[in-house]
Structure 1
Amino acid sequence: MLEHDLLSALFPALPLAAGEAEFHAPSIEEFFPPVVLFEGTPFELNRIMIIRLIVTFAIVLFFYLGTRRMRLVPTRFQSVVELGLQFVRVNIAEDLLGKKDGQRFLPLITTIFFLVLGMNITGIIPPFNIAGTSVIGIPLLLAIVVWFAFVYAGLRKSPGKFLRNTLFPPGVPWYFYVIVTPIEFVSTFILRPVTLTLRLTMNMIVGHLLLVLFFSATSFFLYEWQDAGLMRLFSVGTFAFGFAFTLFEIFVAFLQAYVFALLTAVYIQLSLAEEH
């Protein structure tokens, strides 16, 4: 509740009145839509939850249709699916983990990449217009999965060395471990999932608020402000900025998916490093 009140204070309605017209800037309420299905039950769904379910179903359907009848000479659709899978395999998994470990963790890294990408891209797709990753649930869940994969990979390879070298880095004088070990513990086992979560969530929140701001301002100048006069010309600028940021959000959707998957591979690679 405190978080909700704080964010509401940061994004209040802005009165820019002309007659009875009033411009309302986007607020944090955008990320707390009302329940639309199964209200009052443990399975209640709001708009963002429905978007997440649709994206998950769409991803499963996409890969099912693209891989159910693989051909030696691929169709266009099969080529698109293979191109996406090859991108993750070559440029993320095998590039960082090598062929053996890359193949081993490829299902996890591929799932994370396409799930984050799908959830991100809904922020610019009508009628969704909000990213499934703009609320902390999905980013946090994925960050926890990555954390477990990182710990599992290290413990599976060499339990003793993994924990010892992570918490007690070699080459450090023993009397410094009083300071170094707590710092290593916090940075490795706490800050990594936190930063993964916040990086993705904050990017999607800011992108959504900017798009709503520009396109709401365009609508305000054109249709809601009755006595706008020459001020209507501002709608050209706000629409241009909105269009430019829409293209930028497409880039950010891909970039954040790539970064999340890349960091997943980096963390796993660190846990498998020889010094562990």
Structure 2
Amino acid sequence: MTTMVLAAGDEFVAPGVKDFFLPPIFGEVTKPMVLLVLSILIIGAFFIAATRNLKLVPGKFQFAAESLYDVGRNTIAREQIGAKDFKPFVPLILTVFTFILVNNLFGLIPFVQFPTMSHIGFPLAVSVLVIYPVYHFVGFKRHGFVGYLKHQTMPPGAPWFVLILLIPIEFFQKFFLNPLTLAIRVFAAMFAGHLLLLVFTLAGEYLLFAGGITVVVAPIAFVFAIALTFLEALIMVLQAYIFALLSANYIGAALAEEH
């Protein structure tokens, strides 16, 4: 796990936020930074290997790549953006989905065991620096500056006295809150899940070596840790899917003719 701090004297010290701030590997470079770069190399190598020798009857790598592409293209982009506009955004949605997925799954890989997205700065960077500019840019491009602001903040048919309250709320949500909640959602899930795994794993180890009757209880903690590992794997995949889904949804909403 992140650290192996078990106890101070005879007292168990529970893991916390401090365990997510790892010491630099060299210079100012930390483990999450290395994992972020490694994820890009893994994704690039996977798709290059999978598409290198395409066959009518796909092999394992080609089948996996085609399945991921199908999820990004048809399940997410086409459904959320619409059949008319989705094609230019397929590479973005597929990249975001696989990037978040690989960085989440790092939390389950032995000797790595750290989900990169449990550091708020990384999902925030993807949301604010990539997704946020894209969907507002395409919205302004399609509707014009004033038209897009009206499109995002003034639902058609709403009475004027409702708009007085609704316009600032919608403006705050669409231009400030959406990119933050997009990032916080995956960060919170990865942070909480990894923290729970730390608690049960380190608690089980502490109980095992503390001596006395606690040895009997230790297997229970390990069973919970194993069960949480499977649950966390599911959540990691779901959070990557939800991040890509909402990203496509924001783009689709920006392009839509009707609010």
The answer to whether TM tops 0.5 is yes
Alpha-carbon shift at residue 98 of structure 1 (Å): 2.7
> How far does the alpha carbon of each residue in 1:76-133 deviate from its partner, in whole angstroms, 9 at most, with x for none?
2111111111122121111222334221110111011000000101111111111010
Matched, 1:121 2:105: yes
2:165 to 179, 183, 186: 179
Alpha-carbon shift at residue 236 of structure 1 (Å): 1.1
Matched, 1:242 2:225: yes
Q: Normalising by structure 2, what TM-score?
A: 0.92
Larger relative contact order (CA 8 Å, sep ≥ 6)? 2
Matched, 1:265 2:248: yes
Amino acid at match of 1:132: T
What is the aligned-residue RMSD (CA, Å)?
1.8
Q: Normalising by structure 1, what TM-score?
A: 0.86
Matched, 1:86 2:70: yes
Alpha-carbon shift at residue 181 of structure 1 (Å): 1.5
Identity over aligned residues, as a percent? 37
> How far does the alpha carbon of each residue in 1:196-230 deviate from its partner, in whole angstroms, 9 at most, with x for none?
1111111111011100110001111112x1xx322
Aligned partner of residue 251 in structure 1, secondary structure: helix
Aligned partner of residue 170 in structure 1, secondary structure: coil
Distance in 1 between the 2:162 and 2:61 partners? 57
Distance in 1 between the 2:86 and 2:216 partners? 54
- 1:26 is matched with 15
Aligned partner of residue 36 in structure 1, secondary structure: coil
> How far does the alpha carbon of each residue in 1:142-180 deviate from its partner, in whole angstroms, 9 at most, with x for none?
111111121012112121422222223322233443322
Alpha-carbon shift at residue 23 of structure 1 (Å): 1.3
> How far does the alpha carbon of each residue in 1:40-82 deviate from its partner, in whole angstroms, 9 at most, with x for none?
xxxx211111111211211111111111222223222111111
Unaligned runs of 5+ in 2: none
Matched, 1:105 2:94: no
Cα contact 2:6–2:202 (8 A) shared by 1 = no
Cα contact 2:207–2:215 (8 A) shared by 1 = yes
- 1:220 is matched with 206
Distance in 1 between the 2:245 and 2:151 partners? 23
Unaligned runs of 5+ in 1: 1-12
Matched, 1:59 2:59: no
- 1:150 is matched with 135
Cα contact 2:6–2:206 (8 A) shared by 1 = no
- 1:204 is matched with 190
Distance in 2 between the 1:93 and 1:62 partners? 21
Moved over 6 A (4+): none
> How far does the alpha carbon of each residue in 1:21-50 deviate from its partner, in whole angstroms, 9 at most, with x for none?
23121121122111112x2xxxx2111111
